[in-house]
Amino acid sequence: MKKSIAMVLAGVMALSMTACGGGGNTTTAAAGGSGTAAGSTAAAGGSEASGSGENSDRALYVEISSDPGDLTPFGNNGTNPVRIKGQIYERLYEYGYNYEVTPILAESWEQKDSTHWVFHLKEGVKFSNGNDFTASDMLFSMNLCKDGTVMSKKYVEFVDFENTKIIDDHTVEVALTSPDAFFFSGFCGVYMVDEESYNASGDGLASEPIGTGPYKFVEWTTGSSVKLTANENWWGGDVKIKDVVFKVITESSQRSIELETGGVDLVLDLGMADYDRLNESSDYSVLVNDTFRTSSIYFNCSEHSACNSKELRQAIAYAIDANGILTGAYSNFGSIAKSFCNEKMLDYNEAWAANDYYTQNLEKAKELLAASGYDAAKPLSIIVSDDPLQNTMAEIIQAYLSQLGITAEITSYESAVYNNAIDDEAGGWDISFVTLTAPSCQILDICNAFFAEDGINRSCFQNAEFNTLVKKAVVEPDEKVRAEQIDQLVAIVTEDVPAYMMVQTADLYAYNNDLVGFQVWNQTNFQAKDLSFK
Amino acid sequence: MSRYIVKRLLMMIPVILGVTWFVFTLMYFTPGDPAQIILGADATEQEIQEKREELGLNGSYLERFGTYLKQVFVDGDLGTSYIYNNSIADEIAARFPNTFKIAAISVVLAVIIGLPLGVMAAVNQNTWKDNGSMFLALFGVSMPSFWFALMMVIVLSLHLKLLPATGLDSWKCYIMPCVSIAIGGAAGIARQTRSSMLEVIRQDYITTARAKGQTEFLVTYKHALRNALIPIITQVGNMLGIQLGGAIVAESIFSVPGLGTYMVSAIKNRDYPVVQGSVLVVAICFGLVMLLVDIVFAFADPRIRSQYQKKKKVAKEA
């Protein structure tokens, strides 16, 4: 028996020993240059590294909520892959801190006319493998976008490739097929890629991303972490933090705990429930950053829904108290929408907020309900995805509608089929949820993409004047005229309410107090090159 | 015995084919379009159609199933993920060791805790030891593993700062995921052990063993437990098989890159090849574990072993 117990214990020990071996599918950058960096990162080793050694040797550990999945330049452009790719690749210019236009690889640019832009590239820029960055790389990158994903195609949607030409090694003239209101904001999505490395890689730089950015790729253990190290060829000089490790932490509550236990230095996806605890601590800083996203409801404006009636849509909007949504669902992080447009949008007009945007008014709601001729015997159908936030909001709206005598039934769909359910206008839904935003951060883009007849138009909104105006505004070269057109568009969607904007959302970030320089870059990103440890 | 093993291995072939067909069919009829998920909410109908064509989703059921069977069983390729565009076999090969280590350690831990607890309860039936053990077992079975895992994180990581909260960077990282899985399993094993032992300890041969002057320890662990082992081994085997399919809760909470989270994310994203490939691997693992259980039966119970030997003798005589 003693022998058996000893055997079992020996087995446990053996398993424990194998357990110490780490594991995971590890993709490592090719030898040469990165070898030393890999060693130093490995030596840092998780939480034990934090707080030890000189600043430059201390690795920065950053939480990301999911595995990036794809590090090809124009593959998955979700929030987490872009947070990593944003350190490796660079663009000509970006909307950076405070969403201000920041030149990066473009020294300058000028718009020659409504369809021609000239970009002057920075000289002396090298990729992390030592290759020079030239105008031909820029053109190659634009072509990659054109042949890439749905999102990357939009970056160069109106580019006239036949007439786009290289002037010299550091100057490119980009021609457009027609004037485009979204060209400048869209074009900044193009990462600059080394043509030679891309063609030689065989997998579209998936296993070894090479860019001009301040960091270069070292190692990716799928589902676990991505390690980067300083790019010694970076044109901007030395960075203060040499190694950056992105740690995948899927469970929301674990992110703050990892920060508190020293497992990470920076949490990019802090849960609302953890805000108070970290905010009260003197060891951490918490940042609440207003976003460009607006939590909204779509009305099914098609003939298959009772919400086909404008008066009913208005009645529902007047019945809802956005403050209740902000408090009940968003724990007061964010702010209520004061117009159809998020206040942070680039083409936002403050005058819109001066008008009343469906402030809760039950009397008015009841009048509009009566005018709509809605048969209260037939319940309204609210559909939600499996997102808990949407479920909470649906329940709150259900309660508000009951004050009008409207019965609302909530049906939950798995997120994979939720969009399909909304696409089925005859599927029996009346109200659905959507978070409205646009990569260009323009309300015109939202009008064009989500409500115009040629766009996605999940609310089946039909308004001939609106459709004509959108088409005109998108190609209108004169900014003043375009602003007037946008003003009219906002007036139409405010009056017709194909969607009701409720809450302008906020993102929460938390970091160690010894981390200096953290700011939100662009919408949800950060720049490791600007960070340092005290 | 070797003939039996070969026979059982051959029997796995139709099982694997059946599982392949079942999962393929299930995913085929599950609503949700991978092309729409990959391209996102902004994609137009034309773009979605182009993507469906690219992914080979526009073929008929039989065409797609035939292609998949050929790819897996003729070409030996589990395919490429729709979402991540990487090799599924590589990804499973990377994640499976993590899942296996956690599963194996958890099972060993569950046996170490559950077996003595069950034996103690049985030999002290209706005493405080029995009641105490069964209370613990009931608590272990009833307690949600995610709650226990989070409690451990709060106490051991956040307050005491003894263990890392996530990852698999060192041996310490394995403690909480394994314990959170093992607790439920240990409770089940304890209850099963008690019930099996109670059946055995009243048998005549146990009385005989005592009459022969054997120590109580030997009577309990050599004579009684050995005869009570068969249902316990089945339970342990089941636990191992299930855990090899991925301890989804533990993997999610502790950010373990294992098979469970891989499959769940693939199901959410309608990443058909990943779901099919992962389930296939899990089915093979489960089949092998069950075979292992049957082999262990033979070692644990001489009666079963003799059945195999008899068959061998009969075959030789014939």
For A171-196, give the DSSP string. Answer: EEEEEBSS--TTHHHHHTT-B---HH
Residue B146 forms part of a structural domain? yes
Q: Is residue B69 part of a domain?
A: no
pLDDT of amino acid A38: 32
| Contacts with B, A 126-155, CB within 8 Å | 149-151, 154
In this predicted model, which residue has the larger pLDDT, B304 or A131?
A131
- Distance of alpha carbon A347 from its chain centroid, rounded? 19
- Helix %, strand %, coil % for chain B, to 5? 80, 0, 20
Predicted local distance difference test score (pLDDT) of residue B83: 81
B40 close contact with A: CB closer than 8 A = yes
Give me the pLDDT at residue A56, please. 63
Q: How far apart are CA A493 and CA A500, in angstroms?
A: 9
Beta-carbon count within 10 A of A411 CB:
14
Looking at per-residue pLDDT, the higher value among A70 and B22 belongs to B22
B163 within some domain = yes
Residue B226 at interface with chain A, using a CB cutoff of 8 Å: no
> Do the bridges between strand A380-384 and strand A408-412 make them parallel or antiparallel, or are there none, so unpaired?
parallel
CA distance B220 to chain A (A): 11
Mean pLDDT (chain B) is 88
pLDDT band at A57 (very low <50, low <70, confident <90, very high): confident
Helix (H) or strand (E) run with residue A345 in it: none
* Structure tokens given for A22: 């780490």
Asked if residue A209 lies in contact with residue A80, where contact means CB atoms within 8 angstroms, the answer is: no
Least-confidence region, from A166-170, A354-358, A363-367, B200-204: B200-204
Q: Is residue B307 part of a domain?
A: yes
Quote the longest CA-to-CA distance of chain A.
90
Closest to A463 in 3D by CA, of A428, A419, A495, A500: A495
Distance CA A243, CA A533 (A): 12
Can you give the pLDDT at residue B48? 82
Q: Which residue, among B72, B78, B37, has the nearest Cα to B273 in the 3D structure?
A: B78
Contact assignment for A248 to B257 by CB distance below 8 Å? yes
Q: Is B262 on the interface with A (CB under 8 A)?
A: yes
Contact A24 B98 (CB under 8 A): yes
User: At residue A525, what are phi and psi to the nearest 5 degrees?
Assistant: -100, 180
Distance of CA A159 to the CA centre of its chain: 24
Q: Give the pLDDT band of residue B311 (cuts 50, 70, 90).
A: low
A436 within 8 A of A293, measured Cβ to Cβ: yes
Output the pLDDT for position B185. Answer: 92
**Going by C-beta distance under 8 Å and a sequence separation of 6 or more, which residues neighbour residue B271?**
B34, B81, B82, B83, B265
B26-31: long-range contacts (C-beta < 8 A, 24 or more apart)?
Answer: B27/B270, B27/B272, B27/B275, B27/B276, B28/B61, B28/B64, B28/B65, B30/B270, B31/A416, B31/A417, B31/A420
Which chain A residue shows the shortest CA-CA distance from B48?
A150
Average pLDDT, chain A: 88
The reported pLDDT for the residue numbered A334 is 96
The predicted pLDDT at position B226 comes to 87
Find the mean pLDDT for residues A39-62.
53
Nearest alpha-carbon partner for B296 in B111, B89, B56:
B111
Q: Given CA atoms A272, A273, A277, A283 in this order, what sign does their dihedral have?
A: negative
Q: Would you tell me which residues 233-292 of chain A have a C-beta closer than 8 angstroms to some C-beta of chain B? A: 247-251, 253-254, 257-258, 260-261, 263
Instruction: Of A30-39, A188-197, A388-397, B22-31, give the lowest mean pLDDT range.
Output: A30-39
Q: Nearest chain B Cα to A252, which residue?
A: B253
Residue B75: inside a domain, yes or no? no
Rounded to whole angstroms, the Cα distance separating A91 from A133 reads 12
Q: Is residue B60 helix, strand or coil?
A: coil
CATH number of the domain at B243, please. 1.10.3720.10
In sequence order, what are the beta bridge partners of A173? A118, A165
Q: What is the pLDDT of residue A105?
A: 97
Percent of chain B at pLDDT > 70 equals 95
B93 touches chain A (CB under 8 A): yes
Q: What average pLDDT score do residues A463-470 get?
A: 96
Is 50 exceeded by the pLDDT of residue A53? no
- Pick the residue from chain B with its C-alpha nearest to A71: B84
Task: Say how many Å lie between the first and final Cα of chain A, rounded.
Answer: 58
Within 13 Å of residue A399, how many CA atoms lie on the same side as its CB?
Answer: 10
Distance from A532 to chain B by nearest Cα, in Å?
Answer: 24
> Does A224 contact B270 at a Cβ distance shorter than 8 Å?
no
Q: What is the pLDDT of residue A222?
A: 84
Question: Domain tally for chain B?
Answer: 1
pLDDT at A25: 59
* Residue, of A207 and A17, whose pLDDT is higher: A207
- Residue B298's pLDDT is what? 80
Q: What is the pLDDT of residue A10?
A: 46
The two tokens of residue A281 are 């601590």
Query: What tokens does A437 get?
Result: 């935003």
Rg (CA), chain B: 24
Inter-chain residue contact B101 with A221, CB threshold 8 Å: no
Tens digit of pLDDT for each residue in A219-245?
A: 998 888 999 999 999 999 999 999 999
- Please indicate, yes or no, if residue B26 is contained in any of the structural domains: no
What percent of chain B stands above pLDDT 90?
A: 49
In this prediction, residues A478-499 reach a mean pLDDT of 96
Query: Which residue from B95, B143, B108, B105 is spatially nearest to B245, judged by alpha carbons?
Result: B95
What is the 8-class DSSP label of residue B203? S
Q: Is the pLDDT of residue A515 over 50?
A: yes
3-state helix, strand, coil in chain A (%, to 5): 35, 20, 40
Give φ, ψ of B116 to 5 degrees: -60, -35
- Considering CB atoms only, which of A16, A23, A75 is closest to B171? A16
**Mean pLDDT for the stretch of residues B289-309:** 81
pLDDT for position B302: 78
CB contact under 8 A, B252 and A15: no
Report residue A444 CA to chain centroid gap. 18
Distance between CA atoms of B54 and A149, rounded to whole angstroms? 13
If one compares A35 and A304, the residue with the highest pLDDT of the two is: A304
Least confident of A190-204, A403-417, B48-62, B275-289: B48-62
* pLDDT score of B182 more than 90: yes
Rounded to 5 degrees, what angle do the CA atoms A436, A520, A92 make?
85
User: C-alpha distances in angstroms, A244 versus A28, A241, A407, B286?
Assistant: 15, 7, 53, 40
Is position B2 within any domain?
no
Cβ contact, residue pair B268, A414, below 8 Å: yes
Q: What is the pLDDT of residue B314?
A: 64
Residue B45 predicted with pLDDT over 80: no
CA distance A312 to A373: 8
Residue pair A346/A361 in contact (Cβ under 8 Å)? The answer is: no
Average pLDDT over residues A454-483: 93
User: pLDDT by residue (tens digit) across B255-269?
Assistant: 999 999 899 888 888
In angstroms, the CA A170 to CA A192 distance is 13
Query: What residue numbers bound the domain in which B136 lies?
Result: 88-317
Burial class (CB in 10 A: 0-12, 13-18, 19+), A86: buried
Neighbours of A402 (CB within 10 A): 12
CB under 8 Å to A431, separation ≥6 — which residues?
A: A297, A298, A299, A300, A307, A316, A380, A381, A382, A383, A397, A408
- The answer to whether residue B308 is domain-embedded is yes
ipTM of the complex, rounded to two decimals = 0.79
A2 vs B: CB within 8 A:
no
Does any CB of chain B come closer than 8 Å to the CB of residue A15? yes
Report whether pLDDT(B3) > 90: no
| Percent of chain A residues past pLDDT 90, beyond the cut | 74
